[in-house]
Structure 1
């Protein structure tokens, strides 16, 4: 039941127009045909895959030229995992693994995804985040990454987090794009050795809000990172029906 309200809101937005710029990315590269999570005992990891009608990962956002209003495209796996399974402190919400691209900023400073020796210039390269999503009616997609008060000592984030006051981690898993598939490899120990969870797949457009100040952390009228448009949902109704193979 804890997923029902937010997932219903998100599913309802698949037919809605959230913003003019969202339409620029509404193409076959974000129309999901299938999602799978398969366990491979040989490498003690799960392999998460999204298969689309077009070419997975080919479309990336056009830069906004600043952090405020920066676009983020994502292939997202909502799951029934607990926040504590992926290194956060206990909190309500939907734990999701998001594969994202955003050219205006780099939020994975520990990882050099394009292997050029510069750890701060590769936000456009598809990379993973663990996030906790909660309901947020301030955005058309009905969901946002859950925030907390800056400096709140009761909140625990993994040491690989990007240093923002929201439930987000930058775990550095390998992401591979190949034809119509994008996949990510997640070691078993990084999800508390869980294989009994359910999941779904969503392709969506998100946007950053800094409250008008570069480096700011949102404002009262918009969340720091919200969902503005859903392009497709693997199950069509976001019931998280899929199981790990």
Structure 2
């Protein structure tokens, strides 16, 4: 397992070194995606974990421009790769890097259960920053070296969470609350939705992705959801060096 993880890390790092200024999505690579810090902490008062990224600019200010198609649809993301296992978050057991991804993408709405812009419609708010659990795997079809892991449509051996939007990839739309606040963007994850896992490591990544799905999709050339440009990796090498911390309840704090 460790060897496979190191191999995936090497692919991700190779994608970082290959992300030149002319790479796809280069125009979005602004201070809004220049990582400065990240943390994951357990908030005892609410029995929840908070995943938080800080950037040089304004977190979540920049969103992709629509292209009007599901072929090459742009996705911007702040990502927390972790050492969690896929079955910690509701997927069946599978190899890969489990990650929490905060994304924006105007050409599609992949959260059919949630109305993020509160307009009574459930299919028009993909541009609003929202959370996904994903499993990443190496992929030579894309310059970023990774994609969301795919499986054969209808594969009965694969289990997805009930909140997954139904695509044949390890991809969930859990509906967690995403909050933008100046330089910071964070998501609140109830502890029970992660099987109460709090002893894991993580890293932080900002990147440009693309979705290619639907009729005439050539799977031999492009993944359904791939990483095309890695803007930054907080650790510099995706070593996942950061640990979850715990915020004490008010009654336990020293005054």
Q: TM-score surpassing 0.5? A: yes
Paired residues for 1:142-181 under 5 Å: 142-181=145-184
Tell me the CA shift for residue 180 of structure 1. 0.4
Residue 53 of structure 1: aligned partner: 56
Q: Where does residue 105 of structure 1 map in the other structure?
A: 108
Q: Distance in 1 between the 2:18 and 2:94 partners?
A: 29
Q: Shift in Å at residue 219 of structure 1? A: 1.3
CA distance in 1, matches of 2:214, 2:178: 31
Max Rg structure = 2
The alpha carbon displacement at 1:15 in A equals 3.6
Alignment match, 1:220: 220
Deviations 1:71-123 (A, max 9, x none): 00000000000000000000011000000000000000000011111111000
Aligned counterparts, 1:1-245, within 5 A: 1=2, 2-17=4-19, 20-210=23-213, 213=216, 219-245=219-245
| Cα distance in 2 for residues equivalent to 1:15 and 1:31 | 16
- Post-superposition shift, 1:212? 5.6
Structure 1 residues 124-133 or 11-20, which shifts more? 11-20
Deviation digits for residues 23-53 of structure 1 (CA, Å, limit 9, x no counterpart): 1111110011111001111100011100000
Aligned length: 242
CA drift at 1:20? 4.8
Query: Counterparts of 2:234 and 2:201 in 1: how far apart (Å)?
Result: 13
Task: Kindly report the root-mean-square deviation, in angstroms, between the aligned alpha carbons of the 2 structures.
Answer: 1.3
Contact (CA 8 Å) 1:69, 1:208: kept in 2 or not? Answer: yes
TM superposition score normalised by structure 1: 0.96
Contact 1:68–1:212 (CA under 8 A) maintained in structure 2: no
The change in CA–CA distance for 1:242 and 1:17 in structure 2 (over 3 A counts) is: closer
Gaps of 5+ in 2: 246-255
Match of 2:248 in 1: none
Gaps of 5+ in 1: none
Give the secondary structure class of the aligned counterpart of 1:240.
coil
Preserved CA contact (<8 Å) 1:70 1:207:
yes
1:10 is paired with a residue whose SS is helix
Structure 1's consecutive aligned runs of 4 or more residues displaced over 2 angstroms after TM superposition are: 12-21, 210-213
Deviates more, 1:58-67 or 1:4-13: 4-13
* TM-score between both structures, scaled by the size of structure 2: 0.92
- 1:216-245 deviations in Å (ceiling 9; x for gaps): 5x5111111100000011111110000000
